[in-house]
Amino acid sequence: MLPHGEIMDNKGHLDFWNNVANSQPDVQHNWNKVYKNYTATVDNPGCCVWQELIKEYPEAKVLLTLHPGGPEAWYESTINTIYRLHTLWQFKVQRLVTPSSRGSNKFDNMSAKLIWERSHKNTMNNKNEAITRYHEHIEEIKALVPEDNLLVFSVDQGWEPLCSFLGVPIPDTDFPNTNDRAEMQKNIANRRKKANTRLTVGAVIIAGLAFGLIKLLL
């Protein structure tokens, strides 16, 4: 399974997905370049190109996961977690002042173009538009994915419908609960702290260089 978090640690995958993000929608790429060693993909950025992927892998099973609390709960969760990483000023400044070749900037570029622009159609700053897009996305998938290949799923349903759909045994463990809002907000706070540190160090270095240059000119 190819999770989105692995992309940051794999330069080849990150470069590939940046190329996808900078391409027009519906353009086919050499998907086997990133998926040849995997049997599944979850989360972003794979779900942003689901139409391209089902053309390449027409027999693939598609899992459409809905928020257990409904569209309004989805919006509140998203706007207060992963979308914050896109909008916080620290990260915007960091993207401006660090080289575009850095992995973090490539990841941010990919996220902005694939997730928020292509998939969400730049709707996240307007709750009503975002929720409308949420419903549109669901209907688009239902319309294009054959019924036998599609499971509309909510995590509060547990293992049974998921395992039945995939044709695998039900694990003898509780259904996992990770990436909840509290955990993600803690991660965002840590990343924000690191960004503040980098910006502070950068500001001190620039101030020192400026002071030295002024002394040389006087």
Q: Check residue 101 and give its pLDDT.
A: 44
Q: Which residue has the tokens 């609960």?
A: 177
Can you tell me whether residue 68 is helix, strand or coil? coil
Provide the pLDDT for residue 91: 60
Q: 82-117: b or e for each residue (b if 16 or more CB lie within 10 Å)?
A: bbbbeeeebbeebeeeeeeeeebbbbbbbbebbbbe
Count of the separate structural domains present in the chain? 1
Helix, strand, or coil (residue 43) = coil
The pLDDT of residue 200 is above 90: no
* pLDDT band at residue 106 under the 50/70/90 scheme: confident
Binned at pLDDT 50, 70 and 90, residue 199 comes out as very low
Closest CA to 61 of 162, 159, 143: 162
* CA–CA dist 139, 143 (Å, integer): 6
* Max CA separation in the chain (angstroms): 77
The pTM score is: 0.75
Q: What is the mean pLDDT of residues 30-39?
A: 92
Least confident of 1-15, 29-43, 75-89, 109-123: 1-15
Confidence of residue 81 (pLDDT cuts 50, 70, 90): confident
With pLDDT > 90 as the criterion, what percentage of the chain qualifies?
53
Q: Which domain holds residue 172?
A: 4-217
**Residue with the larger pLDDT of the pair 29 and 85:** 29
Determine the residue type at 16: F
Q: Angle, to 10 degrees, between the axis of helix 11-21 and the axis of helix 103-110?
A: 40
Nearest Cα to Cα of residue 141 among 52, 51, 57: 51
Lowest mean pLDDT among 34-43, 47-56, 143-152, 190-199: 190-199
Looking up residue 80, the CATH number of its domain turns out to be: 3.40.50.300
Helix axes 181-217, 89-97, angle to 10 degrees: 50
d(CA 149, CA 27): 23
Mean pLDDT in residue range 64-75: 94
For residue 16, pLDDT beyond 70? yes
Mean pLDDT for 5-20 is 80
Summary mean pLDDT of the chain? 81
Q: Residue written as tokens 């998921």?
A: 162
**pLDDT at residue number 188:** 62
pLDDT of residue 192: 59
Helices (H), the chain: 11-21, 32-35, 50-56, 71-79, 82-87, 89-97, 103-110, 127-144, 159-166, 181-217
Has residue 191 got a pLDDT over 70? no
What tens digit of pLDDT does each residue of 171-186 get?
999 998 766 656 666 6
